[in-house]
Each structure stands twice: as C-alpha cells, then as structure tokens.
Structure 1
C-alpha cells in the first residue's frame, strides 16, 4: 500500500469541494434551529461510513447493471459540472430537502447533505484515477474537517460571515469545474477505444 500525497491532496480537495461543508453552514445552522441538537460525531462517522462502503461496493453495483467505471466517471463529471455551476452562479439546479426530519443527524445531514449523490458519484470517478488507499485517506481527512465544521459551525459563520461563505463557495466552484472538465477528458477517451 503506497501513499501518494499528491493523490491524497487532490482527492481530498475534490471531495471537500463536492461535499461543500463550508457552503452548507447556513443549512447546518438552520437544522440546529429546527431540531435543537445535532450529533456532530455521529453525522461525521455515518457520512464517512457511507462513502467508504459505496467506494467498495459501488463498482460491483455498476457491473451488476452493466456499466463500466469510465462511463460512470463521465456521468460523474457532468454531475460535478452542474454542482460547480450551482456554486459559481449561486443558483439551485437540484436540491432534495426534506423539511421534517425525525433526526437531522442522519437525515438529511449525514445523507444526503454530506454523503449525497455528488460525493458518491465523485468517489467512483476518483477510483478510475487514484488508488483506493489514497482515496480512503482523503475521505478520513474530510470526515475530520466535517466534524470540526459541524462542531464550530456557528463560530465559523460569525467569523467569516455570509459574504465569506459565498466567496469560498465560488472559489471551490471554479476548482470543481476544472476538475469536472479534466475527469471528462480523461475518461471519454477510454469509451471510444
């Protein structure tokens, strides 16, 4: 098992941009107001668990229905592209929000807000380019960041303000857009060979 710090950093940044935990601070604060207490540890661990399990079983599920990883990576690049557009333009193309939640810790926070369609698609797309060990390290690093942000979300919002959150979203949106284009270009070739 060889760790490549460049791969870990790239996978971490891609997941960080897709999960967009900083950009979701307003949603997290709103959930706290609605349901009271959110269990940061539980939400982080469940989200990490879902992502790791999907990374291992996702490819088997795809082959079961006859889809190869390159096709999924191309499809994933489109999802990343649209998520990036949402972040850059400040629009909502698709959001599935459940207003009433029994426990906001698991639903909608851990799934689908953190470990949602975007991050799960991204994981399988990353598998086409990076080693599993490096992706797992990137997931674990993101889980730590998610935990810290969940624990300190109100302080972060006060510190950087609404404009700061918007600027961060736009910066990560542009990074994500570039990654989507690279992912598309790298995998579309494989489909025509």
Structure 2
C-alpha cells in the first residue's frame, strides 16, 4: 500500500536510530537541562522531524543551489561530530553557545538530533529507498526521541552522575567512530 515496505522501514529506522544516537545524547540533554532549566521535548522533537523531512526532499537541491556537493556536506558534518565527540570524551567545552532562553531548537533539535550526519544519511537513504518508508522511519525515530527527552530526568536519576559519565564517554567514542567513518567514506569524493 502506497509503496510501504515493513522491511525497508525497519532497516531505515535502525540506520537513523544509530546516526541520531538519542541514547548517547542523554548526557548532553542533562547538561542542557541543567544550564537552561527546561527542555521543551515536544518543540525539539517536532522541529527535528520537520527539518529531516524537509531536507529529505529539498536537501540535495539546496546544497546544489549554494554550490556544495553531498561529499563536502558530509565531510563538514564529520568535523562537527568529531568535535562533539571530543567534548564528550575529554570533558572539555569547544562549542560556546550564545545566550539563549531555551536549548530546544539549537543545539538540541539542530545539530544534535537533525545534524549533518543525519542529513547526509537521509540523502543516501533517498537514493536507495522509497520516500514514504523514509518518512515513516523518521516519524518512528522522532517518537523515540520524544520519549527519551521526556524521561531524561528519570534516566539521569536512575544512572547517577557516574553512570552518565560512563555513558557520555562511551557514546563519545562511538560518535568519534561515526565521524571518522563519515569522513573516510566521503573525503575521496572531494578529489574526484
């Protein structure tokens, strides 16, 4: 029906889950909540979902319009992920955010949830799978993101500071590996 394929949806959902890595961003969400006092889970989730769906359809054309190819975008995204991973692993602050009243849109919805890695992944998925299956997978992931954001304080209490520290460093290494893989897969395309 409408080109929907459960197997494709499951595959795309798993790929997006790994790239979005909402479980790995729990320590960042906790940090943001401590800085700003409140995270608007609904606003962050809906914004990230809209960004992903819009980019799915206009991303490649938008990049072409401003003269950027997908490989350049992916390499730039790998640098952003690399620095985020370094912050998580080393416990240092590289990104200095501007004063904002909320962290729901920046940096949570973009670039943490719907970041360069997610955008690049969406462009590559678009070439392999039906758009309707990708949209369903995005919606499923956004629901999961919302649940994790909504329950981040409970997760924080359950894990404690030490548990969050371990998760932060572990997922920092995973994020670093994703950044290296994204870089390696796309850097060759810059010189073709």
**Shorter-normalised TM-score: what interval?**
0.7 to 0.9
Structure 2 CA distance for aligned equivalents of residues 22 and 139 of structure 1: 23
Structure 1 CA distance for aligned equivalents of residues 155 and 176 of structure 2: 25
Does the 8 Å CA contact 1:17/1:176 hold for their aligned counterparts? no
* 1:188 match: 187
Q: 1:77 to 1:47 in 2, by over 3 A?
A: same
Stretch deviating more after TM superposition (67-76 or 48-57): 48-57
* 2:94 match: 93
* 1:144 match: 143
Structure 2 CA distance for aligned equivalents of residues 113 and 188 of structure 1: 26
TM-score (norm 2): 0.78
Structure 2 CA distance for aligned equivalents of residues 135 and 88 of structure 1: 32
Structure 2 CA distance for aligned equivalents of residues 123 and 86 of structure 1: 19
Does the 8 Å CA contact 1:55/1:120 hold for their aligned counterparts? no
Task: Quote the RMSD (CA, aligned, Å).
Answer: 2.7
Q: 1:136 to 1:66 in 2, by over 3 A?
A: same
* 2:62 match: 61
Stretch deviating more after TM superposition (112-121 or 75-84): 112-121
TM-score (norm 1): 0.78
Structure 2 CA distance for aligned equivalents of residues 43 and 64 of structure 1: 27
Does the 8 Å CA contact 2:29/2:152 hold for their aligned counterparts? no
**Partner SS for 1:91:** coil
**Partner SS for 1:47:** helix
* 1:172 match: 171
Q: 1:26 to 1:85 in 2, by over 3 A?
A: closer
* 1:116 match: 110
